[in-house]
Amino acid sequence: MKEKIQDGNFRYFFLKVFVDWAVKSSYRKYQVEGLVNIPSHGYTIWASNHTNALMDALVLLSSTRKQKVFMARADIFRKKSAVKWLTFLKVMPIYRIRDGIEAVKRNDEVIAQATDILMDKVPLVLFPEATHRPRHSLLKLSKGIFHIAGSVYEHSGKEQVYIQPIGIEYGDYFRFRSTVLVRFGEPLDISGLIRENAGEPWPVLMLKLRGMLTERLAGLIAYLPDDEDYDAMWEYVKLKAADRKVFAGTLSKVEAETGRKLNGLMRNQAVDRSLISEVLAMRESEPEAAAELFRKTDSLRLWRIQNGISVFSIADEKGWGKILVKCLMALAGLPYYLFSGLVSSLIWIPTVVILGRVQDDAFYNTARFGTRFGLSIISFIIWCAVYFIFLPWKWALAALILSLPALRYIYGYGSFVRRLLSDLRWKFRKHKAPDYSGVL
């Protein structure tokens, strides 16, 4: 019998263990919430927002131990060599209009295969926005996911069919070793909705399902409408959230309203969502004042980006004493940084070369992950050989132990120094900043 894409094999599960470790160690904090919402029975399609290229699939893959099959855009399957690897990694194509009319006709085969996967009780993961975009908003969802859900319902008998909404929230879309929050929301009971709306034409019901799924996905992220004020509003939210007093006050208010104690990255998201609600309410009730506030905020945003200044330096300005302490800490950590740069050179140098060829910024972390994943074992073996050939075994063992966290330290130290330089730039240049009265 021909092996199906959803069939398990030892090589895949062995690789997944290593991938899961690599994914989770690629983030300073990796947090998964709402696993209890995943249905324990029936057939489940996972649906997530899509903001960070391949990293979205990887963080979902690592969110549970269970095997999954992913659907991805068909153009990455054009090379025969890629098809073999993607199939091994349990990724199958889905065709879009941009792939051509003839290609789209093949989606009937895709839906049949997707149905077969789900009937084997293997979760199928889709990104219904159909393309990635690093924004805290949502694109119009494609209908493919609902066609698959409908097909599974026809074959499901008495078992339920669900769409499981998932929100992925990154601390930063482009910086490596940032944070990621994966939230599983309340599933959509597709079988129940189809039965309740039995008289509705399927195209009409799909529109309803699209609206419901969009609403649930928006409720799992720090959702901001994608309009002409998006950049200014998100900058305003970031500045407010970076202010420790505002953050603490907003968090206390949210926890009091919900009666729930939040932890980790859920706290950050709750504050962002609350501040977004406030700024949207202000735009609705005081449009002229909001327009002036957004103008000032956007002017400050462009100026600080041009000057390499973080929102944290502006909203949480450090005194000279703290800056001096940070300078001393940077000097103390410099020797190990130089050592780390040397022993990690076999990874970060190819990464820099590859990043220079990446045209879409959203692929930066995917490229960083790929080079680290592909070269870390090779680098480790080479340095093991160098240490134990040229050094006494005790010194070699010490050097090897010091080498293990080297790559993480490079990113951590780099982030620390970048913040320090940002604080210094703000101290010396804030008098040149555009008028931001009322923003903070």
pLDDT reading at 438 higher than 90: no
Tokens of 104: 């789209």
pLDDT reading at 1 higher than 70: no
DSSP string, 132-177: ---SSS-PPPPSHHHHHHHHHHHH-TTS-EEEEEEEEEES-SSSTT
pLDDT reading at 97 higher than 60: no
Contacts 24+ apart (CB under 8 A), 319-326: 320/427, 323/420, 323/423, 323/424, 323/427, 326/416, 326/419, 326/420, 326/423
- What is the average per-residue pLDDT within 249-253? 95
Helix or strand or coil: residue 320? helix
Among the ranges given (97-106, 199-208, 367-376), the one the predictor scored with the smallest mean pLDDT: 97-106
pLDDT band (50, 70, 90) for residue 143: confident
Instruction: Quote the mean pLDDT of the chain.
Output: 90
The pLDDT assigned to 105 comes to: 62
One-letter identity of residue 39: P
- What domains can you pick out in the chain, each with its CATH number? 10-218 (3.40.1130.10), 230-306 (no CATH), 320-432 (no CATH)
Question: 171-180: per-residue pLDDT in tens?
Answer: 999 888 899 9
Pick from 140, 156, 138: nearest CA to 148: 156
Q: How far apart are CA 110 and CA 52, in angstroms?
A: 24
Tokens of 94: 């889905």
Kind and range of the H or E run holding 66:
none
Tokens of 193: 């909705």
Among the ranges given (183-187, 211-215, 259-263), the one the predictor scored with the smallest mean pLDDT: 259-263
Find out whether 294 and 239 touch, Cβ atoms under 8 Å. no
Find out whether 113 and 88 touch, Cβ atoms under 8 Å. no
Pick from 226, 45, 210, 59: nearest CA to 134: 226
pLDDT reading at 113 higher than 90: no
Share of the chain above pLDDT 90, in %: 65
pLDDT band (50, 70, 90) for residue 309: very high
Residue 46 main-chain phi, psi, to 5 deg: -90, 135
Between 440 and 26, the higher pLDDT residue: 26
- Give CA separation, 188 vs 7, 47, 218, in Å: 26, 10, 14
CA atoms within 13 A on the CB side of 137: 14
Tokens of 100: 């051509």
Tokens of 37: 């919402």
- Beta bridge partners of residue 47, listed in sequence order: 126, 165
pLDDT reading at 292 higher than 90: yes
- What is the average per-residue pLDDT within 211-227? 95
Q: How far apart are CA 175 and CA 286, in angstroms?
A: 36
- What is the average per-residue pLDDT within 91-106? 65
The pLDDT assigned to 82 comes to: 63
Find out whether 269 and 181 touch, Cβ atoms under 8 Å. yes
pLDDT band (50, 70, 90) for residue 40: confident
The pLDDT assigned to 289 comes to: 93
The pLDDT assigned to 8 comes to: 77
The pLDDT assigned to 3 comes to: 75
Longest distance between any two alpha carbons in the chain, whole Å = 80
Q: How far apart are CA 267 and CA 276, in angstroms?
A: 14
The pLDDT assigned to 108 comes to: 75
The pLDDT assigned to 103 comes to: 58
Helix or strand or coil: residue 70? strand
Helix or strand or coil: residue 40? coil
Find out whether 9 and 244 touch, Cβ atoms under 8 Å. no
The pLDDT assigned to 100 comes to: 58
**3-state DSSP helix/strand/coil % of the chain, to nearest 5:** 60, 10, 30
